[in-house]
Amino acid sequence: MMICCIQILLLLGVQLALSIPNFFYHDFRKGNGNKEIHFSGVKLHVDSAQPAVFAATGDNVTLPCRFWYEPELTSPREPRVKWSWQPAAGGHETDVLVAIGSRSRSFGEFRGRVQIRQDFPGDAALVMTNLMLNDTGRYHCEVVDGLEDKSTSVYLELRGVVFPYQHPRGHYHLSFLAAQQACEQQASTLATFSQLFQSWKEGLNWCNAGWLADGTVQYPMTRPRVPCGGDGLAPGVRSYGRRHLQLHRYDVFCFSSTLQVNSLTLGRLLSNVGGKVYYLQPSHTMNLTEAQQACQEDGAQVAKVGQLYAAWKLSVLDRCDAGWLADGSVRYPITRPRRNCGPSEPGVHSFGFPPPQHKHGVYCYKSGDELM
Ligand SMILES: *[C@@H]1O[C@H](CO)[C@@H](O)[C@H](O)[C@H]1NC(C)=O
Ligand SMILES: *[C@@H]1O[C@H](CO)[C@@H](O)[C@H](O)[C@H]1NC(C)=O
Ligand SMILES: *[C@@H]1O[C@H](CO)[C@@H](O)[C@H](O)[C@H]1NC(C)=O
């Protein structure tokens, strides 16, 4: 009884607020004092044409969702559409946008970045601009018309690459927070389990355990061997479960997407234009400070590890020359393994963190803006 009255009040409120001339309901039965709202057998349906959408950072994406009535209605209606988001990294479901007809409101990080498409009657697709690394997860499209309430979900995944990262001093030096910062400093973000799992399916094999975004510690194994869990284990993503975020130290799995201008420090990605990673070696090899100067003189910066991985994976960068990177490591990207170019598998190969006076070439990064 209470619930039903509150509903009616809410409905009246909505109706007044929107001043829609005719009332929402075909059939409003009072009868036996048991006030029930009926929809005269009209059913609301909601679905999505795509259960998952893949995109890259900086992209504009559309998450499909549509609703319709059965039997079809003669006059159009404006139900309430609500999109919410369950981050892939874990955490609470948060509101993205609420819309009734052409009026809508967006929330939090999504403010000003999302709208409902409304290309045809019943189109409730969510259009999101300037996709960020941490926008991945499950998006929930809920349509409410009176007591009818139907919903569907769309997963948003980013195309990108997962890479293991360790502290310059060696393995198992990173707390969870330090791991998060290490990824951000290298133009990436903590990988989610589904990103690591996808990479494992694509062949990522790493014998050291690393933090993931949800605070668990795991490692992907495609070729079990003795120092790596033993011969007896089946290949898979092995988990140590949740570890203590401050006390325990591991490596980390970072996730990097397109060669976006990465302005994590500015809080927002400012540009939609991708950048470029390239190898630079003037007439001589350089120590770390000379390498930094060389990139600067070329109107660029020393590339971050995430940018080199993204260039290797997404732009198929292949170069058999080891070069300095922003974190003081020396690496090189190989997509076509060949003789005298290191291991027989494709990958970004590493010489670790040599002393800064050692001499190498350098990988520079130019953002899209600097390219223009
Ligand atoms: C995304 O949409 C915005 C505005 O709607 C537009 O300015 C921008 O160029 C689009 N970006 C891409 C990558 O299509
Ligand atoms: C996502 O990352 C941006 C920076 O790229 C940050 O400003 C924002 O707070 C993050 N959003 C969430 C929900 O963590
Ligand atoms: C690199 O070489 C320059 C001289 O060309 C020197 O001044 C600088 O200290 C060296 N830096 C490092 C890190 O060795």
Mean pLDDT across 270-296? 84
The finding on whether 108 has its CB within 6 A of some atom of ligand 2 is no
Report the candidate in 135, 60, 61 with the shortest Cα–Cα distance to residue 96: 135
Name the residue with tokens 């997860």.
137
Measured from the CB, is residue 283 less than 6 Å from ligand 3? Answer: no
> Average pLDDT of the chain?
83
- Please name the residue whose Cα sits nearest to atom 2 of ligand 2: 134
Both structure tokens of 181: 């910062």
Give the pLDDT confidence of 152-182 residue by residue, as tens digits. Answer: 999 998 888 999 999 999 999 999 999 999 9
CB atoms within 10 A of CB 356: 12
Which CATH number is 160-256 given?
3.10.100.10
Residue located via tokens 């020396």: 330
For domain 273-366, the CATH architecture is Roll (3.10)
The overall longest dimension of the chain from CA atoms, in Å, is 93
For the CA of 59, the nearest ligand: 1
- Backbone φ/ψ region at 9: left (φ over 0), alpha (ψ -120 to 50), beta: alpha
Examine residue 337 and say whether the peptide bond preceding it is cis (omega within 30 degrees of 0): no
The closest of 202, 207, 227, 224 to 164, measured between CA atoms, is 207
- Distance, CA 103 to ligand 1 centroid (Å)? 21
Tell how far the Cα of 275 is from the centroid of ligand 3, in angstroms.
29
Any idea which fold 43-158 has? Immunoglobulin-like (2.60.40)
If you measure from the C-alpha of residue 28 to the centroid of ligand 1, how many angstroms do you get, rounded to a whole number? 46
CB 283 within 8 A of CB 361: no
Residue 261 has what pLDDT?
41
- How far, in Å, from the CA of 288 to the mean position of ligand 3? 8
Distance CA(353)–CA(327), nearest Å, equals 8
Average pLDDT on 310-331 reads 94
Nearest ligand to residue 272 Cα = 1
Residue nearest to ligand 1 atom 5, measured at CA: 129
pLDDT at 265 over 60: no
**Residue range 326-349, pLDDT digits in tens:** 999 999 999 999 999 999 989 999
Residue 34: the pLDDT is: 34
- Segment 22-34, tens digit of pLDDT: 333 333 333 333 3
- Domain borders along the chain are 43-158, 160-256, 273-366
* Dist CA 62 CA 354 (whole Å): 45
For residue 289, give the ligand nearest its CA.
3
Cβ-contact 332, 309 below 8 angstroms: no
CA distance 362 to 346: 20
Topology agreement, domain 160-256 and domain 273-366: yes
Burial of 283 (C-beta count, 10 Å sphere; 0-12/13-18/19+): exposed
What does the block give as tokens for 362? 């350098």
Query: How far does residue 66's CA lie from ligand 1's centre (Å)?
Result: 23
For ligand 1, atom 3, the nearest C-alpha belongs to: 129
Question: What is the predicted pLDDT for the residue at 229?
Answer: 67
| Cβ atoms within 10 Å of 73's Cβ, excluding its own | 12
**Joined tokens for residue 228:** 């790596």
Please name every residue paired with 163 in a beta bridge, in sequence order, or none if there are none.
254
The alpha carbon of 295 is separated from its chain's Cα centroid by a whole number of angstroms, namely 29
Least confident of 126-140, 172-186, 215-229, 353-367: 215-229
Average pLDDT of 124-135? Answer: 91
At 17 the pLDDT is 38
CA 247-252-253 angle, 5° bins: 145
In the predicted structure, residue 18 carries a pLDDT above the cut 80: no
Give the model's pLDDT for residue 298: 94
